[in-house]
Amino acid sequence: MRIAIANDNEINLSILVHIIEEQTEHTVAWTAYDGSEAINQCKRDIPDIILMDIVMPGINGVEASKTIMQNTPCAILIVTASVTGNAAMVFEAMSFGALDVVQTPFSSLSSNKNEVTDFLRKLNVVKSIVASSAEKTNSSLPNNIASTQSKKNTLVVIGSSTGGPGVLATILSQLPADFPLPIIIVQHVDSSFSESFSSWLNKQSLLDVRLASTGDRPKPGSVLIAGKSEHLVMCSNGKLAYDEEPKNLVYKPSVDVFFNSVAKQWKGSTIAVLLTGMGKDGALGLANIRQIGGHTITQTKDTCAVYGMPKAADDIGASIESLDPDKIIGSIMNIIDGKR
């Protein structure tokens, strides 16, 4: 794959170039020292992946990511020296379409082998996501959908990926403090940064937002977020757990794995929402929830940073509704009020 690098630090840029050229099969398409140069370079030559620094002079990585995703979209991996220190900027960039974030490997020497290993692992994940987004989802819903869920104990589940943080912030900010349903979210984000992500979302909502722990039971008015590099699953006793299996999936946690466990184990009714994201994770899980009588919603194409996951769901008839983010809570409130 052809990889571009935008980083204003000459040493860090050189390290990234060296790692890519010496330790991977990829090639360096071009380099840029600030966001403006990255935008212009992208107009001339769109790479497969951009390694985007966040803090740069002039146009920073957030604005550069926004402009590139609007005009010359491609996969963007945020590479920054401090994820926690730049958390708000990182999640803002991810809201505009950056796929994920990883710590800058400060040296390619053997003494910093762990940093390089983490970087290469994340680069391979992004490569797999880009490849999987081109695959078709081979499935379809049956003509007759059986309603097997109880109308009591309604649970709201949300899956999102590329562009998801901003949409989730929009949705959670609209919820009243007395919102009567539990919400569980699976967002594709590295577990190293999930605590920062939940804290960032907690500031956007009147509800309590925190990471899900093993043994948690969904409670009305609470928002739980998958927070490990394992799959969040619903158990038969109505409690949450984490599971390493299946190990071969690109996404950990996976929206499909969680949605499928909800379809199989949750004894009440389900409202499932699939938001913006590259790839197709969550489409089959959404279809399974619809098949057993859940209410399913996808995000509209025009409002998605990447219309990948919702498209995969729409293509197989998994969604009952396709809504703009600011209309999703209204739809859920109508269901709660018995208007639907």
**Cα distances (angstroms) measured from residue 278 to each of 130, 180, 192, 221:** 7, 31, 21, 29
pTM score of the predicted model: 0.86
Pairing of strands 222-225, 208-211: parallel
Q: Does residue 161 have an active-site annotation? A: yes
Three-state SS string over the chain comes to CEEEEECCCHHHHHHHHHHHHHHCCCEEEEEECCHHHHHHHHHHCCCCEEEECCCCCCCCHHHHHHHHHHHCCCEEEEEECCCCCCHHHHHHHHHCCCCEEEECCCCCCHHHHHHHHHHHHHHHHHHHHHHHCCCCCCCCCCCCCCCCCCCCCCEEEEEECCCHHHHHHHHHHCCCCCCCCCEEEEECCCHHHHHHHHHHHHCCCCCEEEECCCCCCCCCCEEEECCCCCEEEECCCCCEEEECCCCCCCCCCCHHHHHHHHHHHCCCCEEEEECCECCCCCHHHHHHHHHCCCEEEEECHHHCCCECHHHHHHHCCCCCEEECHHHHHHHHHHHHCCCC
Sheet holding 270-274, edge to edge: 208-211, 222-225, 183-187, 155-160, 270-274, 295-299, 321-323
Residue pLDDT tens, the chain, 340 long: 999 999 999 999 999 999 999 989 999 999 999 999 999 999 999 999 999 999 999 999 999 999 999 999 999 999 988 777 788 899 999 999 998 888 888 755 544 677 888 888 888 888 887 776 666 555 555 444 444 555 568 999 999 999 999 999 999 999 999 999 999 999 998 787 889 899 999 999 999 999 999 999 999 999 999 998 899 999 999 999 999 999 888 888 999 999 999 999 999 999 999 999 988 999 999 999 999 999 999 999 999 999 999 999 999 999 999 999 999 999 999 998 885 5
Residues 190, 229 contacting (CB under 8 angstroms): yes
Q: Does residue 188 have an active-site annotation? A: yes
Q: Does residue 65 have an active-site annotation? A: no
**Per-residue confidence (pLDDT) for residue 110, from 0 to 100:** 47
**Per-residue confidence (pLDDT) for residue 189, from 0 to 100:** 85
Active-site pick, 188, 256, 269, 319: 188
- The interaxial angle of helices 87-95 and 164-173, nearest 10 deg, is 100
Retrieve residue 242's tokens: 């984490």
Active-site pick, 133, 161, 254, 269: 161
The residue whose two tokens read 């959404």 is 286
Active-site pick, 34, 190, 281, 314: 281
Q: Which domains does the chain show, CATH number per domain?
A: 2-132 (3.40.50.2300), 155-336 (3.40.50.180)
- Gap between the Cα atoms of 281 and 260, Å rounded: 11
Residues 290, 157 contacting (CB under 8 angstroms): no
**Per-residue confidence (pLDDT) for residue 122, from 0 to 100:** 85
